[in-house]
Amino acid sequence: MAESHGGGCCPPMDLMRSEPMQLVQVIVPMESAHLTVSYLGDLGLVQFKDLNSEKSPFQRTYAAQIKRCGEMARKIRFFKDQMSKAGVSPKVILEKEIDIDLDDVEVKLEELESELVEINANNDKLQ
């Protein structure tokens, strides 16, 4: 029977010395790429090599997705700043939802941002 190493399927990597490694190429269909990369990252046993390091993020084939994620990150920073100003601590969520639809997140962030901007405007009028 295999020895248990706590939580994962594989033993933790030793940080004090080099571990044996192999360079492999994994070809994944675009539809399952997010879930696959997320799963591999959770294992903590892979290192990704950027084969397009000479290109800026906006010269890559997924530039539109990068811009969308950047805009969503901006909205989240806005929420964080507003919560900080109001003295509200963010709720810590321990569960991790792997299968997240970014389109749904984008729509929800847009709705929440519009609501918060409107609330701030109304609050300014009242003061």
CA distances from 30 to 33, 34, 64, 95, 104 (A): 5, 8, 15, 25, 19
Collect all residues with Cβ–Cβ distance below 8 Å to 5 and sequence separation of at least 6: 11, 12
The CA radius of gyration of the chain, in Å to the nearest whole number, is 21
The pair of three-digit structure tokens given for residue 110, joined into one six-digit string: 């847009």
Collect all residues with Cβ–Cβ distance below 8 Å to 99 and sequence separation of at least 6: 35
CA distances from 91 to 47, 54, 81, 94, 112 (A): 31, 39, 14, 10, 16
Check if the beta carbon of residue 8 is closer than 8 Å to that of residue 44. yes
Check residue 3 and give its pLDDT: 41
Check residue 109 and give its pLDDT: 96
Check residue 83 and give its pLDDT: 94
Q: What is the pLDDT of residues 70-126, one digit of tens each?
A: 999 999 999 999 999 999 998 877 666 656 777 898 999 999 999 999 999 999 999
Q: What is the pLDDT of residues 60-70, one digit of tens each?
A: 888 888 888 89
- Stated pTM of the model: 0.59
Q: Answer with the residue of higher pLDDT: 38 or 94.
A: 38
